[in-house]
Amino acid sequence: MRKIMIIDDDFLVRSNIKVLLNAPGKNLAENFLVVAEASDGQEAIPLIEATKPDIVISDIRMPHMDGLELQEYLNEKYPQIKMIMLSGYDDFDYVRRALKNGAVDYMLKHKLNRDSLMDAMSLALNQTESKTESEYHGNIFALKRDFTMKLITGCYMHAEEITNRAKSLGLSLGTKNVMAVLMCVQNPNVNTTEAYLQEYSVLNIVDEILQNICKGICCHISDEKYVLLLTFDNIYSKNRQNEKYAALCNRISVCLKKYLNINASFYPGQTVSSIQQARMSYNTAEDVYRSRYTAGINSSQERKNAKAFDILAIFDANQEKALLAGVRENSPKQVKAVIHDVFDLLLKCDPAEAEAQFVFMDVLSALNRAWKEHNIDITRLNELTDIRKQLHSFNSIHEAELWFSQLIETAFAAKHTFSVYPNSVYVSQAISYIRRHYSDDISQSTVAEAIGISPSYLSKQFKEDLGIGFADYLCNHRIEKAMSMLKESNVSNKDIAQMCGFSDDAYFSRVFKRTTGMTPKEYRKKKE
């Protein structure tokens, strides 16, 4: 019998899971025993240490320590524990991160039933009972990845500590003449299931090649990206080092193409003198990787005929003025045209990563200034995304332009959904409550009671602070959430209406069209 721990800040959710375990039909309780419960990750840790569960079912969003933080702790301390995540439809980014970090599966809270629980638990059971070679290698790869990530982020300070850790993992890694290399693989035909097998295969092939050519380590860091940390003996001349690097890249490329039918591209960082400086080499490798903005992912040719422009002058006062006018005149077309001109000029500049990001930030700041006049903070339009971090993730200028275009559409559609920063503490509390409970049957009276004031006073505070009434704010927030679901999921319009707090899908459709100018069906079709 496998031991289970349930972690959720909602007592009813925890109770529901226990009820489902004992539901009629296939009795999951025959295979699983709930040994502990907790309301958040912080409370869970001592219980995990005491009970040593085989499977942890955890909410993603919790106070004090959320599910992702707990997952990091378990990956470090108890990698054998399998984790199943509980989520809502607005937790997409968190879910992706959780699965990428090793979660077995996830379950949607509002669709939690015996079948979904049984599927997730069966998957976890199969994994806990499987002691295959691939699982063994998976654990080793996870440890190697953790070690490598700490190296390239500068967590290790002393060469002795690095050497000892490398030996404990059975790694052949020197401490001098270090080069970080980003390797990107391209296999558009791989599906989600095959992705894990591909990762293991790539790592095994690269590890075997490294043993024959030079000392080093390879780990998987994101979907298509791997990082190699190479060390070269002092006896190697610069030319000899370059020969070894070229031979390594060629051998890896040939083998990956031959055995896995995938292509690989390499982006080398500068060689640094010690392993403690691995972060510096990795940062330069990222710069080389980012330089493909205009050259293309496999291109290393020098860019010719690039016109010299002053990066600082790409987005000037006249363009900002035109952008501001477009916002005031409620013309998304005009705002997008300004953005297009800016990015077209940026493309001609052939920018480095840092230069491109400077322009991205400049444009974002101008957009925020423009919408603040309309009581909208554009950096808070998506609660799940740190917009400023997003500016560092674009693979091309075209991708950045598309992202800004979507942000502009969202801002125009949202109108007063988000305030800049409410002056009233009661309004702040009310907004926080709405964002947590917008899918429930709530009203002005419900929220007022929850924060301890009268409904009339709450209404007054909303109008004074935001310039709109409580009902309008609630409605606009629900519509914004619906827009996100229509764009990012295949859930039916009727279900989305219910999940966003609209009891009647016809009423939802009318309100949606009044707010956005389109029906839900038209909006979804436009996004396809």
Tell me if 170 is assigned to some domain. yes
Rounded Cα distance, 454 and 457, in Å: 5
Q: State the pLDDT at residue 234.
A: 66
Last residue of a domain, one of 395, 414, 433: 414
Please compute the mean of the pLDDT values over residues 299-314 and round it to a whole number. 43
Tell me if 297 is assigned to some domain. no
More confident residue, 13 or 157: 13
Pick from 163, 183, 169, 100: which is nearest to 141 by CA? 169
Percent of the chain with pLDDT strictly greater than 90: 4
Last residue of a domain, one of 105, 130, 155: 130
Take residue 190 and report the two structure tokens written for it: 């791989």
Question: How many CA atoms within 13 Å lie on the side-chain side of 101?
Answer: 23
Percent of the chain with pLDDT strictly greater than 70: 77
Does one domain contain both 139 and 118? no
Q: State the pLDDT at residue 263.
A: 85
List pLDDT tens digits, range 350-370.
666 666 777 787 788 788 777
Q: Which amino acid is at 397?
A: I
In terms of residue numbers, what domain contains 442?
Answer: 425-527
Residue 311 clears pLDDT 60, i.e. is over it: no
Query: Pseudo-torsion of CA 9, 12, 13, 19, nearest 10°?
Result: 140
Does one domain contain both 230 and 356? no
Strands 55-59 and 272-274: unpaired
Tell me if 420 is assigned to some domain. no
Domain with 180 in it: what CATH number?
3.30.70.1130
List pLDDT tens digits, range 101-143.
778 777 777 667 777 787 777 777 766 654 444 444 445 667 7
Residue with tokens 């702040």: 428
Does one domain contain both 112 and 196? no
Domain with 473 in it: what CATH number?
1.10.10.60
Q: State the pLDDT at residue 13.
A: 82
310: number of Cβ within 10 Å = 8
Tell me if 356 is assigned to some domain. yes
Please compute the mean of the pLDDT values over residues 498-503 and round it to a whole number. 88
Return the H-helix or E-strand segment holding 218: strand 215-220
Does one domain contain both 126 and 140? no
Total count of residues recorded for the chain:
528
Q: State the pLDDT at residue 140.
A: 63
Per DSSP, 222 falls in state: S
Last residue of a domain, one of 414, 441, 457: 414
Residue 440 clears pLDDT 50, i.e. is over it: yes
C-beta of residue 75 within 8 angstroms of C-beta of residue 49: no
Q: State the pLDDT at residue 9.
A: 84
Tell me if 251 is assigned to some domain. yes
List pLDDT tens digits, range 429-439.
788 788 888 88
Tell me if 299 is assigned to some domain. no
Question: How many CA atoms within 13 Å lie on the side-chain side of 399?
Answer: 14
Domain with 108 in it: what CATH number?
3.40.50.2300
C-beta of residue 220 within 8 angstroms of C-beta of residue 203: yes
Query: What is the sign of the dihedral through the CA atoms of 396, 202, 141 and 31?
Result: positive
Does one domain contain both 21 and 92? yes
Q: State the pLDDT at residue 457.
A: 85
List pLDDT tens digits, range 211-220.
878 888 888 8
Rounded Cα distance, 320 and 348, in Å: 20
Residue 405 clears pLDDT 70, i.e. is over it: yes
Tell me if 59 is assigned to some domain. yes
Rg (CA), the chain: 26
List pLDDT tens digits, range 187-202.
645 554 466 677 878 8
Please compute the mean of the pLDDT values over residues 84-99 and round it to a whole number. 71
Does one domain contain both 220 and 195? yes
Does one domain contain both 410 and 432? no
Tell me if 64 is assigned to some domain. yes
Pick from 123, 115, 180: which is nearest to 151 by CA? 180
The model carries a pTM of 0.37
Strand ranges for 8-52 from DSSP E:
32-38
Pick from 423, 363, 425: which is nearest to 390 by CA? 363
Please compute the mean of the pLDDT values over residues 462-473 and round it to a whole number. 81
Does one domain contain both 32 and 82? yes
Rounded Cα distance, 45 and 507, in Å: 46
Does one domain contain both 230 and 348? no
Does one domain contain both 28 and 73? yes
Axis-axis angle for helices 353-372, 332-349 (nearest 10): 160
Lowest mean pLDDT among 72-76, 274-278, 380-384: 380-384
Residue 413 clears pLDDT 60, i.e. is over it: yes
Long-range CB pairs of 191-198, under 8 A, 24+ apart, other chains included? 195/223, 198/260, 198/262
Take residue 146 and report the two structure tokens written for it: 């953790």
Rounded Cα distance, 70 and 40, in Å: 9
Count how many domains the chain has: 4
Q: Residue 202 to residues 135, 186, 195, 208, 209: CA-CA distances in angstroms?
A: 15, 12, 10, 10, 11
Does one domain contain both 431 and 446? yes
Does one domain contain both 123 and 143? no
State the average pLDDT for the chain.
Answer: 77
